[in-house]
Amino acid sequence: MTRDYRKGMQFLADARERLDMVAKKLKLDSGLVDKLKFPKRALIVSVPVKMDNGRLKVFTGYRVQHNLDRGPGKGGIRYHPEVTLEEVTTLAMLMTWKCAVVNIPFGGAKGGIYCNPREMSLKELEGLTRRFTYEIMMMIGPEKDIPAPDVYTNPQTMSWMMDTYSMHQGFSVPGVVTGKPVDLGGSKGRLDATGRGVMFATREGLKHLGLSLKGATVAIQGFGNVGSASARLLREAGAKIIAVSDISGGLFDPEGIDIPSLIAYIKKSKDKLLKGFKGPKFVSNPKRANEKLFSLKVDVLIPAALENQITSENAHRIRARMITEAANGPITPRADKILAKKKVFVIPDILANAGGVVVSYFEWVQDTQALFWKEKEVNTKLEEIMTEAFYDVLRTSKKHRVDMRMAAYMLAVSRVAEATRLRGIYP
């Protein structure tokens, strides 16, 4: 495996550029801005794993805490062959803003391991997870930093993390991670939470544009947990999903894809990919599929894969009326400017995909209190928070005459800056 470190470095540079722009709007002190630009702490660990063939392989893992002024760190763990320290650092910063924009008492953190989980067995993944948990144990805990699932990690991953941490404490500590199975203290509604939040944000965005979610045409890039949940929930709300893509290619059907059948097919398939699904037109070249998907004339485009997908090179081909960022950082700053000129309404990632961290907060609260909620209560509370956050950002946008991304950042950064001001600098 080889990594392109330039992508992570550019991702971090873009995030800091956005912070500079927001700081200028808010007239923040330069010293405070510097504090917000850099993480509180970052840990790099070696993760030795005995592979199934008997050989020892050493992986590199990361955990970064960006800012803890508003509460414990919160952020996912991703397993991916392109993970770098710069990427994880940027995602930790985005988590800080995400928690602040929906006004929950967490700071931003993120973790990752440089690996290719698709080439590893379940036993190897368990060994990787348990050793990584041990190596970062000094940083995590219910009062310090609470990991969650992210790209190529899931409730089983969180179960291993929770068990490893608990074994070293001598008692069960369900609150050390979120996104766990319900049987281990997970919250009902957590698995669909990010996708449900995307649906709520999309619904309110369309309402703002004078459109209805019912009958709206939608294209989704990425069909993992977030992309598939978003597709299913949007379809249930009456939207028509006419295109989806993943690393195997893309499916296209102007009459609407049968999302329930597609999800059932993927669950049964060995590789969990779109290829092989019968019915809609399939474009097997992933690059060509994404190019076609991005250029479709739809009401809503949802990038739900990785960062830096919509750039200055392809933004001019976007014909969607609205973009809901289900992924973290899918649009570059230069692309943002192009989309603004095209009058594309963009719901930024730190707002649009915050449903997952909101329900992670609910899970943490339930674990702490040892009192669990019904799924309807979880979903109702999520809808309230996401809707309130959307209109908080929209009001900020109108008041300061800025786009939704700048408004979301202004709201989030001002809340973190105020917390820092009130706490002061120790010593």
Task: Look up the pTM and report it.
Answer: 0.92
How many angstroms separate the CA atoms of 267 and 427, rounded? Answer: 54
- pLDDT value at position 1? 64
Residue spans of the domains in the chain: they are 38-173+407-427, 193-347
Q: Which of 110, 180, 188, 292 is catalytic?
A: 110
CA 409-12-64 angle, 5° bins: 90
For strands 249-252 and 281-283, give the pairing. antiparallel
Is residue 110 flagged as an active site residue?
A: yes
193-347 has CATH 3.30.2020.30 classification: no
Domains 38-173+407-427 and 193-347 agree in fold = yes
- pLDDT value at position 253? 95
- pLDDT value at position 6? 85
Burial environment of residue 354 by CB neighbours within 10 A (0 to 12, 13 to 18, 19 or more): buried
- pLDDT value at position 270? 81
- pLDDT value at position 271? 81
CB count in 10 Å sphere of residue 374: 10
pLDDT, tens digit only, all 427 positions of the chain = 667 788 889 889 989 998 999 999 999 999 999 999 999 999 999 999 999 999 999 999 999 999 999 999 999 999 999 999 999 999 999 999 999 999 999 999 999 999 999 999 999 999 999 999 999 999 999 999 999 999 899 999 999 999 999 999 999 999 999 999 999 999 999 989 999 999 999 999 999 999 999 999 999 999 998 999 999 999 999 999 999 999 999 999 999 999 999 999 999 988 888 998 988 899 889 899 999 999 999 999 999 998 889 999 999 999 999 999 999 889 998 999 999 999 999 999 999 999 999 999 999 999 999 999 999 999 999 999 999 999 999 999 999 999 999 999 999 999 999 999 999 999 8
Q: Specify the CATH architecture of the domain 38-173+407-427.
A: 3-Layer(aba) Sandwich (3.40)
